[in-house]
């Protein structure tokens, strides 16, 4: 992708996501939730507690399916999902979009690699203080790494969708036994 196009996308995303402040901090208990999700176009109920029994969870919030920045971020997470899986971590994206939209997004943008969860009432978005300042029904671009103990291990807030992938992957690496903190 040409650098001017990446800069333009990041600037547009910045305008849409300015003002977010994640209230949850490292060490806080991650709010549990169960919601409709889709992976590879198939729906299922995603349960955070059940997912954490298998390993850490990278929960990333995104504003809207099929927008430029969110599609770019989904492609990047799709490419990184095998690396997250090798580290024992599960990736799940979340937005306010309805499940029918996310079924398509899970295949087209997420490339069948990871689940995307629907939060049309923005309950989980609010519980994680991930609501966009300009539109509280929509999620801002916030990523959390949740350890198997159910606690927030890492928080990233920022407009650059690619930074969320890079920094959450680094945070998952730090969760490994013997990793340098």
Q: Which residues make beta-bridge pairs with 146?
A: 57, 152
pLDDT at 7: 40
Report pLDDT digits (tens) over 110-142: 999 999 999 999 999 999 999 998 888 899 999
3 state SS of 106: helix
pLDDT at 2: 56
What's the distance, CA 104 to chain centroid? 17
pLDDT at 137: 84
Q: Which residues make beta-bridge pairs with 45?
A: 36
Q: In the chain, which residues have pLDDT < 70?
A: 1-22, 179-181
pTM to 2 decimals? 0.86
**Cβ-Cβ contacts under 8 Å for 144 (sequence gap 6 or more):** 22, 24, 30, 58, 59, 60, 128, 152, 154, 155, 156
CB 58 within 8 A of CB 93: no
Ordered alpha helix ranges (H), the chain: 3-17, 48-52, 68-86, 99-108, 123-127, 161-175
pLDDT at 20: 45
Element (H, E) at 138: none
pLDDT at 9: 42
Q: What's the rounded Cα separation, in Å, for the pair 71 and 65?
A: 7
Architecture of domain 3-175: 3-Layer(aba) Sandwich (3.40)
pLDDT at 8: 39
């Amino acid at each position: 992708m040409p650098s001017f196009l990446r800069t333009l996308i990041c600037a547009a995303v910045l305008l849409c996501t300015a003002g977010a402040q994640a209230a949850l901090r490292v060490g806080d208990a991650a709010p549990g939730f169960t919601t409709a999700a889709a992976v590879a176009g198939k729906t299922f109920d995603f349960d955070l507690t059940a997912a954490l029994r298998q390993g850490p969870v990278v929960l990333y919030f995104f504003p809207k399916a099929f927008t430029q920045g969110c599609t770019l971020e989904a492609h990047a997470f799709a490419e990184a999902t095998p690396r997250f899986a090798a580290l024992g971590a599960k990736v799940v994206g979340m937005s306010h979009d309805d499940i029918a939209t996310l079924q398509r997004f899970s295949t087209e943008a997420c490339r069948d690699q990871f689940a995307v969860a629907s939060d049309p009432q923005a309950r989980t978005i609010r519980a994680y203080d991930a609501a966009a300042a300009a539109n509280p029904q929509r999620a801002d671009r916030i990523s959390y790494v949740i350890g198997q103990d159910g606690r927030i291990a890492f928080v990233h807030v920022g407009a650059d969708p690619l930074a969320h992938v890079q920094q959450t992957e680094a945070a998952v690496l730090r969760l490994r036994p013997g990793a340098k903190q």
